[in-house]
Amino acid sequence: MKLENQLNWYDVRQLRQWWKGELVIKGILSVEDARKSREIGTDGIVVSAHGGRNIDCAPTPAKVLPGIVDAVGQKIEILADSGVMRGSDVLKYVSLGAKSVMLGRLPLWGLASAGEPRADAVLEMMRTEIDITLAMLGAQTPRELQS
């Protein structure tokens, strides 16, 4: 059964034709889809399982990220998302080749619990955890963790 309102690659091509600004596609979990996204002309992709909430048997972003980076990493911006709960998670994705990492719900939890000051505190906590993890690994910047 085909759903008529189901988003597909044709829709992304149409969007690319209409939208001349930067276009980033989230939810990429395969080399094939990363290549399709690049061929269509997107500017970036987010390797993401949407927090694992859509299909619990989908591969984790950390598992597929290195292959995607190898296939299209020099041609398109690659971000990572899903399961980020601490600073070391950010560094894991960077070490696997992501240029940026999305924090997802963490700042929103801070915002919901005590407003903007708590959201800022969550971001500062992440920065501190990144700095501590880098120091424990003997690195000064996240890029030093990339192979």
Q: Which domains does the chain have, with CATH numbers?
A: 9-104 (3.20.20.70)
Q: Region 70-96: what's the mean pLDDT?
A: 95
How many other CB atoms are found less than 10 A from the CB of residue 113?
11
In the predicted structure, residue 131 carries a pLDDT above the cut 80: yes
Tokens of 46: 């987010």
Q: Is the dihedral of CA 77, 82, 83, 86 positive or negative?
A: positive
pTM: 0.89
Inter-axis angle of helices 106-137 and 87-95, to 10 degrees? Answer: 70
Residue 77 confidence (pLDDT)? 97
Would you call 125 a catalytic residue per the annotation? no
From the centroid of its chain, how far is CA 54?
16
Residue 53's pLDDT band (cuts 50, 70, 90): low
The residue annotated as part of the active site, out of 16, 50, 86, 118, is: 50
Radius of gyration of the chain, Cα coordinates, nearest whole angstrom: 17
